[in-house]
């Protein structure tokens, strides 16, 4: 009883604090430029503390969801509700936002001179509201409130994307981003309205339950999937992603790619918690789209020269992997193979966390490179590991993790999905097995392609010798920009080496989708084995290192130029493998899906001494071209063509009236309407 | 007897379609005013002095003397050409005038009401539609003004068709409105005539983006 | 534990045997079987040369590569014996641990900043990514037999003797053998004895490695052969048989494998570079066929 | 009460007009505003009270008059700024204020009147007075726009009058001596609906000038292009509301007859056409004011959709019209500074506003978010309710088309707004005095809309509910 009292009081207290923090965000505009960051930090930390407190409460302590009266809304009270799923996502969001904001301090320093007070304030304000809106998206269940914060999320991120508004390109991208987000919102809106009209239940997530019990869920779910999928960036709904991420400042793209697109995943998961029957086709839909996203995403990533664009495409790929997990999970429910459900969902949800970690790490490090070299085109880089060793090593860590290589975290989530697949091959029927075959082949392929891509990007940026003089001025970034890398790196290691720790929260989250979560408990010994193996691996490496050190102590070590096959006149900068040439053989294989244009003037007939030539490749995204750009351009040009009503001649204006009158009169008299 | 006037009124509409001279428009307007007086006068059952005076003012004074006079001033001030080619050849205009008559006749047939005199209604409706048409086919503001007045006359006829249910005050308001309207519009026409080098409407089509 | 020892021993002789066979067929005077061993030992005695372009990565890579191969061995069962660290789904770990080794090898090749090594690196990356699915599909089809899937368990039910099982077995062995060729970049994918850097895959990547590192590379490739040999031998060896027979059989199979490779290498010509991808993809196709056959065996496809 | 008010305002207007002194005009206008506020409070305190023969303080009137009053206060403030900027002569300033007083008074009368004929008369009056205001700048464009506005409105009002005549037929059939809306509504039951239909059609067409709705939308847009921005703020809010009231009241007559379904179809048609035309014209728009004008048209289209579908649509329509008034007014107040800064009306001459005056830029950004009905703007709530109503009434096709058009509109407007805010700053403009004081009111208005959208206070919702009570 006493405990209850205390908790209720506490809950009131922290709600109050939360609301105060929200109100205090507006104070940013009044604060001088150089203190805004600290004000932001204060608010961020307080928000993080409170929300994490709630999240931990409901994820680890309470058994049932946390429900707090938050604010008056539309004449009645609006509650925030935190169940296991929300709690998990809240923790993910908070961690990434925190690292992002720490990173921002160093990253924004150059802008402090260029931007005026209000602009900076707006930036920090939007960053705060990006976090707040994400948290509220996770907390609200009322549909209208949800939609509002959903759009707030889009707006704040939009304001963040157009931060470098000096570039004309940025604005264009920003608008496209805003519009596509808005379209997503519309789809979600339609889905809610459809469910509402279908069932006449409450206009909220709870209202869906009733609808899904009484109707075939596919139609409404499809609307939801499109709406949330645009945010998540499933192909072919992805076209905002590869533009918005590069345009945004790196701490923002880190957060956007790390957690914001996961809100789409959250939405899909949230909706799935209310669907309990006729899941097979839903599962197949998710799985198919996810496989396409995974493979096409990474393939498109391979051909990019812009490092942040490349990373953006990798986000699509990872969303694909998450989707594969979810899809398999759903199919598992449909065909009643609990192990597939459990491990599929578990893998997906863990991958959400993992991706948020290594993707933000990669974006931060890439941002550091950009800050130092002012170029995102990797063809101009090279040999940076000597200039910025810390950044390079963290980038490598991120790369290894994102390729799902042991002993890092990416491997764990993929491993869960794999073992889910392999365990359910036996119980599965023919259809299931074929699906599983396709999915694990897809996963394997994605893994391989990811390795291909990241060997390329890492070695082109950091290894070899510099390809242009932009590298010359590069220095290691200041420590505040290394700290977040450290934090994230630590998390990656922890998940990689001690995965068993994360099983119980995962189990509780997965519990929302299926009752029987026993099979995830069975994973614990296996995961322990994995951590042992990882340990052994590291130990081996250490041992060999020492061995070699000991062996080389006695021997003499020489420094000689790289073997150029006897050709000594080589220019180390130019006679290297470039990103383009590295990607070329994939491009050859995947001509139909990647249209890469090569600008090159072929040799003329009898051209003995060829004059100087330039060779350039441009890759464009067919999905985007054919599904987004061409149609929208067509519509707008069409609008412009038929916009002939404002002629400036009075007679025409009256003519409309006359025609209107006569036509309506006639059809009225004839009782047509 | 009233019927005669109405028919004549209809005839004036045809004439409007027929004539291309600006002076003719004004004359026709004043004729219409006179005709309207006739219509009202003969449709009154018993003549009360006040009503009579009011009608006299409304029709003879305003509609057939003051306004035409004012219009003439405007016309002179803007020294309009005598003849004005409308967009649509006269030939078709006549057809349209006739069609508008027929159409309104049909319409009035549709809504048979003991409440209203069909003939009034027909002509009134026709004159409104024709007024609109008149504005649409003419290029210069002056003719637009004329068209507006045709419409107003039509409305006057309408108010007769519905019988005397209009409160007097409102009736006054309308009269005032027409009067004001014409004055204001007329002055504007003059102003435009001064500012632009003619009162053709293609002078006035800057605002079209 | 035993398996590790045996594999190590096998690995020492494997390259020797291959060379011997090739020399025999080529009608050349045969070097001793121990020659590769001597080479490695000689390398261990030598110092090393590092290019100034290279960085820490270049130093780190050979060690991680070697460590990854050793790790891989720890999961390989032999007949009855489980792998040392065997656990459910360890073959996923197996594949990915090899992958990390490969990752490091590739970037170390890129680290030297040499065009040729870049070329090799990028081919290596491509081929291994194409080969990976084949391996997974193969193991997947084995996993169709039983729910718990670790290397050692995968084989245990292979021996339910229907003739279809043998077909799958043979096909599996075929796939594994050629995967071994791809993984070690031997003929027909790559010719280790070629002398033109432009056409090399594996050899060109280790052009700049020397001394200790080079030795590790050599041993690693030997070990890889041995690993695949063991995987193959597991298809044949009955777990029921007494241990000494198993061991005996193991060596027989390994050496046969080596001989076969030797013969293949001396009679088969090398693929054109751009033919390689489709050739490797073919392995996955065969693996799919195996998968379907297993579906038939497990009565998931009812044929009548 | 109202009679007194009108007399007072006329007197004030006359005084200001003839006094021709800046001080006096401002003084009297201020006092007039005070009267206006007093009237508002009085009206709010005496709901549904009959007043001076033809008037009645019904909820709708009160609601829209409150909006009108709020806006006339701010308009007064911005008019002063505007006239100062233009360094206007005392004469024309006095004309301006006199006309403004009469304009506001006429709108007030239109809001409160009970009698359809009087409503008509007051709307005609608004036309006359507003044209004086439109013509204030005395430029060629002003002349053209004013002429068009005057002429088309006169014709439109004439057409509307025919409709009213038909109404009077209905009245006379039931032996009504006056044309009060309520009596007409009661009378409308037992009558051949064809009369009703035609009169509704005519009235809609006639007053579409004021509502800047299809078919007679065009001239209102031209007028807004040339009028002074404070006047615009009233024209595209309070005046459109007057138009809305006229349609709404006529609709109440139709609402209880068999003609309802027909009227709904007509409203749907005009609504969707308005939105469509607004959308396609926006692709061509080059002047900021015209962009706003077209956006007004679009919003009016949405309102008429809401009115058409009924149910929660009624509520949403009223909500929408109030929110739109506040937001649009705020935007027009902003224009004042933008034009002053860039000395141009064309969007292509603008740019870098955010850099030049950050606070104003911020408010403009907020305005953009609000006018395009993105959350948290209250307009989002009302639009959302209207869509909900459309779907409930199974008008899915209309809803989807509208959604597509609205998305296109957002895209187009976003381009212009972001151009103003972020595009590289044109070289020829010199930084001038800060505007921060001017941005306060827009901030308040936008904030108010957000607040009213998220958490509407009780009296507000009550007003709306009682306003639409007559419909269902």
DSSP string, A335-401: HT-HHHHHHHHHHHHHHHHHHHHHHHHHHHHHHHHHHHHS--BGGG---HHHH-HHHHHHHHHHHHH
- Two tokens, residue B97: 């005038």
Q: Residue A45 above 70 pLDDT?
A: yes
Find the CB nearest A75 among D359, D374, D461: D461
User: What's the domain range around B151?
Assistant: 2-195
CB B137 within 8 A of CB B90: no
Residues facing residue A558 across a β-bridge: C49
pLDDT of D94:
92
pLDDT higher at A189 or B158: A189
pLDDT of A168:
84
pLDDT of A2:
47
CB A400 within 8 A of CB C99: no
Q: Residue C82 above 50 pLDDT?
A: yes
CB A496 within 8 A of CB A409: yes
Q: What kind and span of H or E run contains C280?
A: helix C276-297
Asked, as a colleague might, if the bond just before C188 is cis with ω within 30 of 0, I would say yes
Average pLDDT of C79-93?
82
Convert the pLDDT of each residue in C121-132 to its tens digit: 888 888 888 888
The chain D residue lying nearest B189, using CA atoms, is: D147
Of A591-605, B121-135, C44-58, D5-19, the range with the lowest mean pLDDT is A591-605
Of A106-115, A329-338, B33-42, the range with the lowest mean pLDDT is B33-42
CB C67 within 8 A of CB C104: no
Q: Residue B55 above 60 pLDDT?
A: yes
- Taken in order D26, D28, D31, D35, the sign of the CA dihedral is negative
Give the count of domains, chain B. Answer: 1
CB A286 within 8 A of CB A134: no
CA angle, residues B180, B182, B187, in degrees to nearest 5? 95
Q: Residue A286 above 90 pLDDT?
A: yes
CB A367 within 8 A of CB A250: yes
Find the CB nearest B208 among A648, A654, A655: A648
CB A594 within 8 A of CB A303: yes
Taking CB atoms within 8 Å and a gap of at least 24, the contacts of D187-190 are D188/D253, D188/D254, D188/D256, D188/D257, D189/D256, D189/D257
Strands (E), chain C: 48-50
Residues facing residue A606 across a β-bridge: none
pLDDT band at A11, cuts 50/70/90? low
Give the count of domains, chain D. Answer: 1
The chain C residue lying nearest A386, using CA atoms, is: C55
d(CA D431, CA D341): 8
CB D315 within 8 A of CB D323: no
d(CA A4, CA C278): 68
Convert the pLDDT of each residue in D263-315 to its tens digit: 999 999 999 999 999 999 999 899 999 999 999 999 999 999 999 998 899 99
A:630-659 residues touching chain B, CB 8 A cutoff: 646-651, 654-655, 657-658
| Domain assignment of residue B209, yes or no | no
CB atoms within 10 A of CB A391: 26
Share of chain B above pLDDT 70, in %: 87
Could you give the ipTM of this predicted complex?
Answer: 0.91
Q: Measuring CA to CA, which residue among D304, D186, D303, D202 is closest to residue D252?
A: D186
Convert the pLDDT of each residue in B111-125 to its tens digit: 766 666 777 888 888
Average pLDDT, chain B: 81
Q: Taking CB atoms and an 8 Å limit, are A162 and D422 in contact across chains?
A: yes
pLDDT of A605:
79
- Pairing relationship of beta strands A76-82 and A557-559 according to DSSP bridges: unpaired
Q: Residue A1 above 70 pLDDT?
A: no
Listed in sequence order, the residues at least 6 apart from A553 whose beta carbon sits closer than 8 Å to its beta carbon are: none
- Taken in order B32, B33, B35, B36, the sign of the CA dihedral is positive
d(CA A555, CA A552): 5
Q: Taking CB atoms and an 8 Å limit, are A423 and C149 in contact across chains?
A: yes
Q: Taking CB atoms and an 8 Å limit, are D455 and A72 in contact across chains?
A: yes
Average pLDDT, chain C: 85
Residues of A in contact with D219 (CB under 8 A): 650, 653
User: What's the domain range around D360?
Assistant: 259-472
Q: Taking CB atoms and an 8 Å limit, are C128 and A589 in contact across chains?
A: no
Listed in sequence order, the residues at least 6 apart from A373 whose beta carbon sits closer than 8 Å to its beta carbon are: A380, A381, A384, A470, A471, A473, A474
What percent of chain B is helix, strand and coil (3-state, nearest 5)? 80, 0, 20
Q: Taking CB atoms and an 8 Å limit, are A441 and C216 in contact across chains?
A: no
Residues of A in contact with D271 (CB under 8 A): none
Chain length of chain C: 304
Convert the pLDDT of each residue in A412-464 to its tens digit: 999 999 999 998 888 888 889 999 999 999 999 999 999 999 999 999 999 98
pLDDT band at C62, cuts 50/70/90? very high
- Two tokens, residue C149: 């899937």
CB A187 within 8 A of CB A227: yes
Find the CB nearest D143 among B115, B148, B192: B192
Which segments of D188-311 does DSSP mark as H helices, in order?
Answer: 193-211, 218-226, 229-234, 240-255, 260-282, 288-309
- Residue A75 touches partner B, C-beta closer than 8 Å: no
The secondary structure of residue D405, as a DSSP letter, is H
- Two tokens, residue A618: 């441009």
| Domain assignment of residue D292, yes or no | yes
Residue C89 falls in which region: left (phi positive, over 0), alpha (psi -120 to 50) or beta: left
CB A455 within 8 A of CB C107: yes
CA angle, residues D377, D381, D382, in degrees to nearest 5? 110
Helix (H, G, I), strand (E, B) or coil at A277: coil
d(CA C74, CA A529): 12
How buried is C242 (Cβ within 10 angstroms: 0-12 exposed, 13-18 middle, 19+ buried)?
exposed
Listed in sequence order, the residues at least 6 apart from A361 whose beta carbon sits closer than 8 Å to its beta carbon are: A394, A395, A397, A398, A401, A484, A485, A488, A489, A492
d(CA B127, CA D311): 40
Residues of B in contact with D285 (CB under 8 A): 209
Question: Rounded to a whole number, what is the distance in angstroms from the first to the last CA of chain D?
Answer: 30
Convert the pLDDT of each residue in A366-407 to its tens digit: 999 999 999 999 989 988 999 999 999 999 999 999 999 988
d(CA A85, CA A272): 12
CA distance A279 to chain C (A): 22
d(CA D410, CA D402): 12
d(CA C188, CA A496): 38
Average pLDDT of A353-359?
95
| Domain assignment of residue D472, yes or no | yes
Q: Residue A9 above 60 pLDDT?
A: no
pTM over 0.90? The answer is yes
The chain A residue lying nearest B203, using CA atoms, is: A649
Residue A596 falls in which region: left (phi positive, over 0), alpha (psi -120 to 50) or beta: beta
Q: Measuring CA to CA, which residue among A612, B165, C279 is closest to residue D166?
A: B165
Q: What string of H, E and C letters represents the secondary structure of D180-223?
A: EHHHHHHHCCCCCHHHHHHHHHHHHHHHHHHHCCCCCCHHHHHH
Q: Residue A589 above 90 pLDDT?
A: no
Among B87, B130, B136, B143, the strongest candidate for a mutation testing the A interface, having the largest count of A CBs within 10 A, is B136
Convert the pLDDT of each residue in B7-50 to its tens digit: 888 888 888 888 878 888 899 999 998 888 888 877 766 667 77
Asked, as a colleague might, if the bond just before A236 is cis with ω within 30 of 0, I would say yes
Convert the pLDDT of each residue in C286-302 to its tens digit: 999 888 888 888 888 77
Convert the pLDDT of each residue in D83-134 to its tens digit: 988 888 889 999 999 999 999 999 999 999 988 888 988 998 999 899 999 9
How buried is D241 (Cβ within 10 angstroms: 0-12 exposed, 13-18 middle, 19+ buried)?
buried
Residues of C in contact with A452 (CB under 8 A): 125-126, 129
Average pLDDT of D461-469?
92
Q: Taking CB atoms and an 8 Å limit, are A197 and D392 in contact across chains?
A: yes
Q: Measuring CA to CA, which residue among C89, C262, C289, C279 is closest to residue C179?
A: C279
Q: Taking CB atoms and an 8 Å limit, are A541 and C116 in contact across chains?
A: no
Average pLDDT, chain A: 90
Helix (H, G, I), strand (E, B) or coil at B197: coil
């Amino acid at each position: 009883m006493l405990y209850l009292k205390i908790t209720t009081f506490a809950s009131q207290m922290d709600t109050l604090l939360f609301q105060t923090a929200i109100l205090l965000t507006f104070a940013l505009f009044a604060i001088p430029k150089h203190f805004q960051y600290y004000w932001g930090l204060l608010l961020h930390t307080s928000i993080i503390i409170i929300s994490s407190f709630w999240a931990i409460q409901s994820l680890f302590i309470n058994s049932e969801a946390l429900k707090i009266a938050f604010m008056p809304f539309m004449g009645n009270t609006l509650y925030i509700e935190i169940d296991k799923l929300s709690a998990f996502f809240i923790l993910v969001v908070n961690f990434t936002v925190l690292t992002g904001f720490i990173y921002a301090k160093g990253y924004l320093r150059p802008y402090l001179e260029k931007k005026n007070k209000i602009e900076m304030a707006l930036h920090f304000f939007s960053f705060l509201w990006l976090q707040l809106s994400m948290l509220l998206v996770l907390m609200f269940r009322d549909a209208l409130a949800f939609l509002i914060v959903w759009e707030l999320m889009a707006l704040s991120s939009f304001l963040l994307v157009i931060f470098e508004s000096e570039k004309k390109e940025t604005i264009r991208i920003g608008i496209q981003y805003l519009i596509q987000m808005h379209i997503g919102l519309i789809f979600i809106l339609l889905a809610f309205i459809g469910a509402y009209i279908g069932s006449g239940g409450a206009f909220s997530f709870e209202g869906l339950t009733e609808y899904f019990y009484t109707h075939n869920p596919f139609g409404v779910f499809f609307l939801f999937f499109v709406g949330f999928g645009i945010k998540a960036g499933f192909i072919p709904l992805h076209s905002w992603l590869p533009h918005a991420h590069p345009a945004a400042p790196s701490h923002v793209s880190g957060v956007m790619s790390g957690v914001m697109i996961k809100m789409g995943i959250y939405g899909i998961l949230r909706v799935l918690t209310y669907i309990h029957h006729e899941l097979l086709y839903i599962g197949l839909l998710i799985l198919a789209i996810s496989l396409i996203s995974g493979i096409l995403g990474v393939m498109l990533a391979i051909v990019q020269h812009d490092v942040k664009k490349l990373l953006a495409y990798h986000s699509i790929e990872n969303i694909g992997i998450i989707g594969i997990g979810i899809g398999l999970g759903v199919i598992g429910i449909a065909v009643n193979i609990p192990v597939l459900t459990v491990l599929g969902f578990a893998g997906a949800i863990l991958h959400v966390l993992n991706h948020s970690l290594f993707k933000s790490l990669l974006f931060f490090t890439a941002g550091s490179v950009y800050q130092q070299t002012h170029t995102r085109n990797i063809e101009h880089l090279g040999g940076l590991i000597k200039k910025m060793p810390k950044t390079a090593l963290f980038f490598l860590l991120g790369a290894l993790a994102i390729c799902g290589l042991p002993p890092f975290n990416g491997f764990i989530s993929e491993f869960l999905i794999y073992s889910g697949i392999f365990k359910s091959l036996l119980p599965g029927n023919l259809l299931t097995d074929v699906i599983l075959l396709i999915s694990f082949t897809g996963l394997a392929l994605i893994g391989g392609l990811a390795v291909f891509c990241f060997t390329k990007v890492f070695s082109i940026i950091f290894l070899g010798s510099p390809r242009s003089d932009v590298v010359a001025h590069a220095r290691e970034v200041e420590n505040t920009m290394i700290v977040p890398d450290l934090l994230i790196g630590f998390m990656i290691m922890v998940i990689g080496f001690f995965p068993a720790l994360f099983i119980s929260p995962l189990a509780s989250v997965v519990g929302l989708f299926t009752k029987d979560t026993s099979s995830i408990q069975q994973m614990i010994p296996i995961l322990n084995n994995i951590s042992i193996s990882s340990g052994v691996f590291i130990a081996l490496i250490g041992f060999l290192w020492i061995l070699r050190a000991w062996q080389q102590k006695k021997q003499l070590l020489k420094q000689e130029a790289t073997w150029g096959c006897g050709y000594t006149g080589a220019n180390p900068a130019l006679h290297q493998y470039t990103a383009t040439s590295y990607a070329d053989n994939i491009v050859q294989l995947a001509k139909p899906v990647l249209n890469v244009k090569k600008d090159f003037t072929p040799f003329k007939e009898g051209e003995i001494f060829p004059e100087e030539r330039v060779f350039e490749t441009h890759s464009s995204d067919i999905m985007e071209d054919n599904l987004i750009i061409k149609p929208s351009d067509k519509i707008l040009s069409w609008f412009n063509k038929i916009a002939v009503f404002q002629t400036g001649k009075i007679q025409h204006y009256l003519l409309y009236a006359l025609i209107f009158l006569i036509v309506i009169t006639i059809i009225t008299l004839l009782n047509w309407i | 007897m009233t019927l005669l006037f109405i028919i004549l009124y209809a005839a004036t509409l045809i004439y409007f379609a027929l004539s291309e001279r600006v002076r003719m428009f004004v004359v026709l307007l004043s004729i219409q005013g006179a005709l309207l007086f006739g219509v009202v006068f003969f449709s009154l059952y018993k003549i009360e002095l006040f009503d009579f005076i009011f009608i006299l003012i409304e029709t003879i004074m305003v509609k057939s003397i003051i306004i035409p006079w004012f219009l003439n001033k405007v016309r002179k001030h803007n020294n309009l050409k005598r003849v004005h080619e409308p967009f649509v050849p006269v030939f078709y205009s006549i057809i349209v005038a006739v069609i508008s008559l027929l159409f309104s006749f049909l319409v009035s047939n549709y809504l048979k009401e003991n409440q209203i005199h069909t003939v009034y209604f027909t002509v009134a409706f026709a004159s409104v539609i024709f007024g609109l048409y008149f504005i649409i086919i003419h290029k210069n503001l002056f003719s637009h003004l004329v068209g507006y007045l045709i419409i107003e006359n039509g409305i006057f006829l309408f108010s007769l068709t519905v019988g005397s249910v209009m409160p007097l005050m409102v009736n006054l308001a309308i009269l005032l409105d027409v009067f004001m309207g014409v004055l204001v519009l007329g002055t504007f026409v003059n102003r435009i005539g001064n500012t632009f080098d003619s009162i053709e409407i293609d002078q006035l089509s800057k605002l079209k983006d | 534990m035993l398996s590790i020892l045996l594999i190590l021993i096998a690995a020492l002789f494997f390259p020797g045997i291959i060379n011997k066979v090739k020399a025999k067929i080529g009608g050349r005077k045969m070097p001793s079987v121990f020659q590769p061993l001597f080479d490695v030992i000689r390398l261990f005695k030598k110092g090393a040369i590092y290019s100034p372009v290279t960085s820490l990565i270049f130093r780190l890579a050979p060690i991680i590569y070697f460590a990854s191969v050793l790790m891989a061995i720890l999961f390989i069962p032999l007949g009855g014996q489980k792998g040392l660290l065997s656990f459910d789904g360890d073959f996923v770990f197996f594949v990915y641990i090899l992958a990390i080794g490969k990752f490091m090898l590739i970037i170390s090749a890129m680290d030297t900043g040499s065009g040729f090594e870049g070329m090799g690196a990028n081919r290596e990356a491509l081929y291994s990514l194409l080969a990976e699915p084949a391996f997974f599909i193969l193991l997947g089809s084995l996993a169709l037999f039983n729910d718990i899937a670790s290397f050692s368990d995968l084989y245990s039910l292979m021996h339910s003797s229907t003739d279809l099982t043998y077909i799958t077995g043979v096909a599996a062995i075929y796939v594994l053998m050629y995967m071994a060729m791809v993984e070690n970049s031997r003929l027909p994918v790559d010719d280790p004895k070629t002398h033109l850097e432009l056409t090399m895959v594996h050899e060109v990547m280790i052009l700049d490695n020397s001394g200790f590192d080079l030795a590790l590379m050599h041993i690693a490739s030997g070990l890889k052969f041995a690993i695949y040999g063991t995987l193959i031998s597991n298809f044949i060896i009955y777990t029921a048989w007494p241990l000494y027979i198993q061991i005996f059989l193991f060596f027989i199979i390994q050496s046969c494998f080596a001989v076969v490779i030797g013969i293949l290498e001396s009679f088969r010509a090398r693929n054109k570079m751009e033919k390689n991808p489709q050739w490797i993809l073919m392995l996955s196709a065969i693996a799919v066929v195996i998968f379907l056959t297993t579906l038939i065996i497990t009565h998931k496809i009812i044929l009548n | 009460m109202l009679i007194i008010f009108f007399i007072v305002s006329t007197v004030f207007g006359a005084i200001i007009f003839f006094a021709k002194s800046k001080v006096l005009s401002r003084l009297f206008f201020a006092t007039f505003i005070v009267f206006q506020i007093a009237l508002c409070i009085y009206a709010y305190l005496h709901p549904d009270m009959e007043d001076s023969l033809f008037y009645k303080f019904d909820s709708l009137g009160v609601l829209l008059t409150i909006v009108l009053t709020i806006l006339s206060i701010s308009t007064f403030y911005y008019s002063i700024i505007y006239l100062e900027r233009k360094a206007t002569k005392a004469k024309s300033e006095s004309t301006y204020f006199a006309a403004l007083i009469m304009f506001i008074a006429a709108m007030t009368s239109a809001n409160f009147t009970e009698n359809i004929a009087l409503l008509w008369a007051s709307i005609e009056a608004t036309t006359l007075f507003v044209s004086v205001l439109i013509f204030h700048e005395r430029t060629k464009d002003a002349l053209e726009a004013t002429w068009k506005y005057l002429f088309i409105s006169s014709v439109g009002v004439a057409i509307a009058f025919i409709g009213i005549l038909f109404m009077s037929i209905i009245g006379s059939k039931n032996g009504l001596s006056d044309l009060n809306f309520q009596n007409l509504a009661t009378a409308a039951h037992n009558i051949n609906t064809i009369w009703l239909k035609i009169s509704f059609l005519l009235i809609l067409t006639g007053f579409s000038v004021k509502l800047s709705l299809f078919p007679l939308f065009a001239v209102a847009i031209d007028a807004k292009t040339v009028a002074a921005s404070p006047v615009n703020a009233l024209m595209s809010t309070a005046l459109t509301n007057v138009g809305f009231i006229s349609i709404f009241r006529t609709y109440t007559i139709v609402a209880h007859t068999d003609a309802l379904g027909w009227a709904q179809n007509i409203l749907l048609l005009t609504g969707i056409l308005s939105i469509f035309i607004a959308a396609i014209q926006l692709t061509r728009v080059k002047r900021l004011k015209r962009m706003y004008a077209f956006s007004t048209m679009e919003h009016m289209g949405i309102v008429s959709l809401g009115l058409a579908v009924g149910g929660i649509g009624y509520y949403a329509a009223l909500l929408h019209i109030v929110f739109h008034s506040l937001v649009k007014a705020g935007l027009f107040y902003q224009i004042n500074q933008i034009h002053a800064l860039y000395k141009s009306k064309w969007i292509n001459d603008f740019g870098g506003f955010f850099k030049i005056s950050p606070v104003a830029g911020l408010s403009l950004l907020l305005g953009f978010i609000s006018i395009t009905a993105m959350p948290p703007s209250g307009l989002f709530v009302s639009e959302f309710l209207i869509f909900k109503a459309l779907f409930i009434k199974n008008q899915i096709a209309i809803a989807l088309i509208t959604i597509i058009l609205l998305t296109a509109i957002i895209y187009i407007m976003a381009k212009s707004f972001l151009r103003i805010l972020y595009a590289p700053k044109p070289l020829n403009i010199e930084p001038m005095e800060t505007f921060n004081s001017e941005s306060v009111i827009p901030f308040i208005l936008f904030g108010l809309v957000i607040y009213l959208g998220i958490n509407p206070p009780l009296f507000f919702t009550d007003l709306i509910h009682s306003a639409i009570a007559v419909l269902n």
